[in-house]
Chains A and B, each alone.
Chain A
Amino acid sequence: MEKQLIISVGREYGSGGHEIAEKLSKHYGIQLFDHNLLDEIAAKKNVKMDHLKELDERHKNLLSSRTVRGLSNSPEENLLYLQFDFLRDKADAGESFVIVGRCSETILKQYDSMVSIFILGDRDKRIERIMRLYHLTESQAVKKIREKDIQRRRYHNSFCVRRWGDCRNYDISLNSSRLGIDGTVKLLTEYIDSRRK
């Protein structure tokens, strides 16, 4: 049986982290979980979750949530726990997968088979990429990057002790602007392969 491999990819918006995760998933022939995670959970639990997509990777609103004996009414937090449980079940079952974001580097930390990666990028390269991908003006791209990074940081930091993007939280933090997407993927596969030996 193939040795288990879990790759957790955290990313700055516009750094190409998602594309890198896709390429790693293809390279190792393992499943990729990103926005599709909710669909997977919905299918497994036989429930509808389309209306919850807007809450995915969102921090909990302190004013509209309350915790009682460790249980919270926050839909964002409850969605997060559903995702945590789903990922842990997969990991416990020995399955290999790539997971993008969702505090995965923290919640799957106890699995030796996990490689945690954080992809960052130079500001100008990220702006250029977002302008190209979404046909935005520079100011629109700057705004989008700022909003998305704030959203990801708040989401991550409201559920994890270690800060989002803090290099001590990941096995490897890499600037994709230096080697480009393919170069970064190549370097990462070399690292992952060395780890698996």
Chain B
Amino acid sequence: MFAQVVAIIIFIAMFVFIVSEIVERHVVSLICALLTIVFVFGLGMHSMSAILETLNLRSIFTTEFWYLSGETSGSSTGINWETILFIFGMMVMVEGMARVGFFRWLCMRIARLVKYQVIPLFITFMILSTILAMFIDSITVILFLAAVTIELAQLLKFNPIPMILSEIFCANLGGSATMCGDPPNIIIGTSLGYSFTDFVTNTGVIAAVSLIAVLLYFYLIFRKELRADVSEPVDYSSLPTPESTITDKKGFAVSCVIFAAAIALLVTHAQTGLTVSTIGCIVAAATLITSWKYAVDLLKKVDYNTLLFFIGLFVVIGGLEQTGILEIMAAFIGRISGGNVMVMVAIIIWLSAVVSAFVDNIPFATTMIPIIKSLSTTYGVDLSMLAWTLAMGTDIGGSATPIGASANVVGIATASREGYVIKWGQYCKKMMPATVMVVLIAMLFIYFRYL
């Protein structure tokens, strides 16, 4: 009982401190992790095995961590080192791509392809945002897309805010489509043993259907605001050519090859048996070896704070799991749904969406994984269906408010620092209906396809 109460207190305190931003979130999660080890596992449970299971260091030295010869059930206990290594690898690769000017080149190339026409730009940038976010973290996608959008808006004289808002939404939507698109998906995939293909053929299909609705929705609500001011002629020569944005031609070619290889490895990882941790290490090593002159700089740019945040978070959630709190929560959800699968799906998707709209979706998704696992075991519900429900709820719900997802914060900040300040009301008025629409589409899709 003591351990359970302390685990809950630490978990709530962690959330409160993360939201308050008094201390950086990685510091909060690491301190809470230490408190969990000392008070929950040590003083509360007197269990060394609980500590070792949660630290999960042993898993790194197993063959399954690097290579899978058959089906896996995954592991949701303790620190998910697979997730940490994979995100690290992708971060190194993305930094390498950014160094050579890949993202700016891609944006400028597409802008030129559509002849700098505002509405075609609006549509293609939304699609580009979705596709890029399927493979790359949404923060990087929005950092580059928003910057180029503002640059184009200033030249073509249109309001960039509608375009940036649409790009943010699509980045979050794209993230939901694949296993590596959004951190909750990576955690869900590695914890429950799903492959890249599993995600694409399930959440990917939902995201594709939703994208059509989203393109239509944003076009209808923003078409008037996106009219360019044609009173003055536009000087296209002041725009950089796509080629001029490449800072290192040889490095650019190498980056493209590494990126293509990363996609190929991810798409085929169920067949090749390579785990995401192996793929993460391969892309990181390939990037660092081919850009050895810049290796130290690239390593310095990796967002270690996020990785540390994940490590601390996994330990705190491990505390809840080891003390049986998550099973109690699962039983509660099972009780209020009366064992009805449709109600269960509705609760999971809407609860995930609402919570993710206001707090970081990573801790929430991590907490929910053992819960859906328990629900699946107790009520005999298909675990994969609950996993897709959780992924869609957490990934899409984050779009609803300015603080729901990292991409939202980065997009808003990028626009605001150029004078296009976006307030809460302005953001929610356009993004909340889109979020509700997509969550509804996802829920109905799950009902029709799986039930």
Chain A residues in contact with chain B, CB under 8 A?
Answer: 41-42, 45-47, 49, 51-52, 55, 62-69, 71-73, 75, 78-79, 81-82, 85
The stretch from B44-52, B96-104, B310-318, B417-425 touching chain A is B417-425
A54 closest partner in B (C-beta): B423
Using Cβ atoms and an 8 Å threshold, which residues of chain B touch A69? 139, 303, 410
Q: A68-B139, A82-B416 are in contact. Are A73 and B408 (CB under 8 A)?
A: yes
B73 contacts the other chain (CB 8 A)? no
Using Cβ atoms and an 8 Å threshold, which residues of chain A touch B412? 73, 78
Number of interface residues of B (CB under 8 A): 24
Using Cβ atoms and an 8 Å threshold, which residues of chain A touch B406? 68
Using Cβ atoms and an 8 Å threshold, which residues of chain A touch B410? 68-69, 71
Sample of 22 A–B contacts (CB below 8 Å): A45-B418, A47-B419, A49-B421, A52-B423, A55-B421, A55-B423, A64-B424, A65-B402, A66-B402, A66-B403, A67-B21, A68-B406, A68-B409, A69-B139, A73-B416, A73-B422, A75-B416, A75-B424, A78-B412, A81-B417, A82-B417, A82-B419
B404 closest partner in A (C-beta): A66
Q: Is the CB of A78 within 8 A of B402?
A: no
Q: A66-B409, A73-B408 are in contact. Are A78 and B417 (CB under 8 A)?
A: yes
B157 closest partner in A (C-beta): A46
Using Cβ atoms and an 8 Å threshold, which residues of chain B touch A46? 154, 419
Q: A71-B413, A72-B409, A72-B413 are in contact. Are A62 and B419 (CB under 8 A)?
A: no
Using Cβ atoms and an 8 Å threshold, which residues of chain A touch B402? 64-66, 73
Which of B154, B409, B420 is the one whose CB lies under 8 Å from A73? B409
Using Cβ atoms and an 8 Å threshold, which residues of chain A touch B154? 46
Using Cβ atoms and an 8 Å threshold, which residues of chain B touch A81? 416-417
B229 CB → nearest A CB, Å: 10
Closest 8 A/B residue pairs (Cβ): A78-B416, A71-B413, A45-B419, A47-B419, A66-B403, A73-B402, A73-B412, A68-B409
Using Cβ atoms and an 8 Å threshold, which residues of chain A touch B408? 73
Report the Cα distance A49→B418, complex, angstroms: 12
Q: For window 1-48 of chain B, which residues contact chain A by CB distance below 8 Å?
A: 19-21
Not counting A49-B419, A68-B410, a sample of 15 additional A-B residue pairs whose C-beta atoms are within 8 angstroms of each other reads: A41-B419, A45-B418, A47-B420, A51-B423, A52-B423, A64-B403, A65-B403, A68-B139, A68-B413, A71-B414, A72-B409, A73-B409, A73-B412, A75-B421, A78-B413
Q: A45-B418, A78-B421 are in contact. Are A62 and B20 (CB under 8 A)?
A: yes
Using Cβ atoms and an 8 Å threshold, which residues of chain A touch B422? 73, 75
B422 closest partner in A (C-beta): A75
Q: For window 291-341 of chain B, which residues contact chain A by CB distance below 8 Å?
A: 303
